Chain A
Amino acid sequence: MPERNVCIIAGGMSKWGVREASIIDMAQEAAKECFDDIPALKRKDIDGLLFASSYCGRRSFQVNIAPVVAERIGIKPTSMCTRVDTLCAGGSSGIILATGLIKSGIADVVMIAGGEKLYTPQRWETYYSELASIDHDWDGAQGMGLPPPYFSMTAQEHMKRYGTTKEQLWAVSVKNRRNGSTNPKGHFQKAVTIEEVMASRVIVPPLSLYDCCPITDGCAAVILTYAEKARELTDRPLVYIRGSAQAALHSMSINWPGEHLADWLHMRTAAKRAYEMGRVGPEDIDVAMTHDCFTISEIVEMEELGFCKKGEGGPFVESGQSDFGGKVPVNTDGGLLSCGHPFGATGIRQAREILQQLQGRAIRQVEGAEIGLTHNLSGLNVEHTILIYGREP
């Protein structure tokens, strides 16, 4: 069998936000929108399901969740049905794994779904589970866990070394909240002004409320298959998975790979491999979805992806180079800052937006977009995951 090219053919999301619904309810909503996105596909033709979730074991008290989801969305997987946990990159891990399964012929049509239910009556559990998202025996025992304090150190380092300003951080928030204001599925539909951002309460200096993504309930789903099958199912332009990489070079407080906390060697390592596999460079990317868990994250990511030089991420975002009309529009659906971040669902949400962008049907369309990129960082910056999509294989 010749090696198959793999395409993403459909995407869906539940409504994201503070939801009165279980993780399974939201998975069903996301899957339904995804099925409706590709009417020619019969559900019996989906032979694989990968479900990305990190907190479902504790917050929803549901382990081995994939078969439960499969039953609720009316599919009967016969090639693969399993959960994937890479925290904030779980959805992207699922897409990479499904690509390999389809390329090799182990699976033919795979749904990658995922999400989290984080608002429950026992709110303390969410803040307790955060201690488990790092090396809990050592760093967790010291009181590290919730991400803002960690990323405040990154922001301080970037400001000190490169002269990055709070106004530049805020520019990311204003842009992404504006992009998200027309996305009905995201957590927020309200743009914010720089004055509102400036006046918001301080979480950890220099990060204020609007520098941080919210805690969000939600699920998302996409479907992948091989190109010949995709052509049978849709008249839309095909969107191929061209390249991917996932790099993990250290654990949180030991063996940090960079020269300093704002130097993300593990992200550059992943970007280099993904670009090589995709046979593209940073200058070829028409639209990108990068992991804006904090405003500072998006600034560092512009540098490590090669969209600008190291240290110039601040001026890059402030001058509109990551906005519509700039060098590369970033987080066109609002990103984590506006959509929220139900960990396992985020990479899938990004893939859905890139699919719509490359098919020319996004809510805020980048004209003529042909090559797209998604990126996640996971945990307290211990791993980076990148995917490259294109209209050509």
Chain B
Amino acid sequence: MGFENFGTVSFTAEAKAADFITYLEAGKVMATRCRKCGVSYFPPRMDCPRCLSSDVEWFEIKGDGKLISYTVVNYGPTGFENDAPYILALGEFDGGVQIFACLSRDIEQKDIQIGMGLVVSPVKLPDNRIAYEFKKG
């Protein structure tokens, strides 16, 4: 099991970070941390770009993040035409980890405020696909 059912349109089935999907199906959004130099990564990296060590550990992204920026996609790329309009957002979490994800459709556009609290959680998509999204913190 790898990335074949990840996101609305995915490309790579096999990748070293495949455990990310196992965690996601178990309800957890995970990042990695390099055991050698301590840097955290999202998207998760199984080999540290900073020190090139492969000794990395998984950790769950828990608790409140905050909304840094967002944008409305009125015209989606191929595969996302029927999803538009949707909102893409950039959030910052513990340890300075930044995540780029869709904002849950439960959040109305008038209620969005830069700096508002966010949590990131798994979301089931049609056709048995899975991704992560932001909800209100």
Contact = CB atoms under 8 A, between A and B. Distances in A.
B23 interface: no
B79 A131 contact: yes
Given A137-B3, A143-B88, A152-B71, A254 B41 contact: yes
A205 interface: yes
- The range of chain B's interface size is 35 or more
Contacts of B3: 137
A143 B77 contact: yes
B27 interface: no
Contact of B79 (A128, A148, A149): A128
Say which size band chain A's interface belongs to.
35 or more
A337 B77 CA distance: 21
Interface string B7-42: 111111001000000000000000000000000011
Given A205-B72, A253-B90, A143 B83 contact: yes
B73 A140 contact: no
Given A128-B78, A130-B77, A131-B9, A142 B98 contact: no
B72 A204 contact: yes
B74 A204 contact: yes
Interface in A210-257: 252-254, 256
A149 B72 contact: yes
B69 A142 contact: no
A125 interface: yes
A141 B131 contact: yes
A362 B116 CA distance: 51
Contact of A156 (B11, B69, B102): B69
A87 to B, nearest CB: 15
A137 B71 contact: no
Interface in B80-137: 80, 83, 86, 88, 90, 98-102, 114, 131
A125 B79 CA distance: 11
A256 B7 CA distance: 23
A261 interface: yes
A348 to B, nearest CB: 27
A363 B72 CA distance: 39
A85 interface: no
A230 to B, nearest CB: 43
B43 interface: yes
Contact of A254 (B77, B88, B98): B98
A142 B7 contact: yes
Interface in A126-170: 127-128, 130-132, 135-146, 148-150, 152-153, 156-157, 160
Contacts of B72: 149, 152, 204-205
A142 B7 CA distance: 6
B100 A144 contact: yes
A146 B77 contact: yes
A152 B73 CA distance: 10
A137 B70 contact: no
A241 B99 CA distance: 41
Contact of A127 (B10, B43, B77, B90): B77
A124 interface: yes
Contacts of B101: 142
A204 B75 CA distance: 9
A326 B38 CA distance: 50
A203 interface: yes
A142 B129 CA distance: 12
B20 to A, nearest CB: 10
B84 to A, nearest CB: 8
A65 B11 CA distance: 25
A288 to B, nearest CB: 28
A128 B77 contact: yes
Given A125-B78, A253-B99, A140 B43 contact: no
B97 to A, nearest CB: 9
B75 A153 contact: no
Nearest to A143: B80
Nearest to B41: A254
Interface of B: 3, 6-12, 15, 41-43, 69-80, 83, 86, 88, 90, 98-102, 114, 131
Interface of A: 124-125, 127-128, 130-132, 135-146, 148-150, 152-153, 156-157, 160, 202-205, 252-254, 256, 261
Given A127-B76, A142-B88, 13 more contacts: A130-B78, A135-B43, A140-B77, A141-B7, A141-B131, A142-B131, A143-B76, A144-B88, A144-B100, A146-B75, A148-B75, A149-B71, A157-B69
8 contacts: A127-B77, A128-B9, A137-B10, A137-B11, A141-B6, A141-B8, A141-B11, A143-B9
